[in-house]
Amino acid sequence: MSHPPFHFPAPLYPIIDPALPSCSAADMAEALIAAGIRFFQLRVKHEPTRVFVEVARRVQAIAARHDALLIINDRADVAQLVGAAGVHLGQEDLPPADARALLGPEKIIGVSTHDAEQMDAALHVGVADYLAFGPIYATRSKERPDPLQGLTGLNDARARCPLPLVAIGGITSETLGHVLQAGADAVAVIGAIAGAVDPQAVARALLTTADAATALRARRRS
């Protein structure tokens, strides 16, 4: 039996990356939860699988204690092993259909897309619960960033995507509202929190800003 249709619990979707200058992944998870966030992703790009699993287990234990949902970046096998809520797949990762076969119908699967062709392909497969689209702005969190899509690209993506859509790439507190107004259901943030002296305070402020922008959008559409 599959889970109910997915909706982002909040319009802010933080990504924890231990490679960026910040506290440990576990401390970052605690800070996000203290800020009121219950849905976040763990990305470990440059460590051996053994280290990824160790970090993921620690973060998943924290998430479970607080009824938060942890999404594992790239690795469906790690998500399955640690009992995470789901996996977020890039274009070069395990195909979404295979990830669904591995994880079963109840886990959350997100897929990154960077242009209309990739988005249409992900929608055609039909197993993703949400899609990510970007980069919206220039970002330093990826070694080989894809071409910028901007707000115009995001508008086009929104028009063709019936699933919940998260925008990613260089989004800050100053641009977050514009991105949500352009049609994203949520915004993914990495550097905006990871580089903060007080990640909890920054995460709480970003969440407040995102909630306000979403409420404003709803009022304008009503």
Q: Where are the beta strands (DSSP E) in the chain?
A: 12-16, 39-42, 69-73, 86-89, 108-113, 130-133, 165-167, 186-189
Whole-number mean pLDDT of the chain?
A: 94
Q: What is the pLDDT of residues 163-222, one digit of tens each?
A: 999 999 999 999 999 999 999 999 999 988 988 889 999 999 999 999 999 998 888 887
The confidence score (pLDDT) of residue 23 equals 82
CB neighbour class for 222 (10 Å; exposed up to 12, middle 13-18, buried from 19): exposed
Please report the domains of the chain, with CATH numbers, ordered by start residue: 12-221 (3.20.20.70)
Tokens 């998430």 correspond to 63
- In angstroms, the CA 124 to CA 179 distance is 25
Q: What is the pLDDT of residues 19-40, one digit of tens each?
A: 886 689 999 999 999 999 999 9
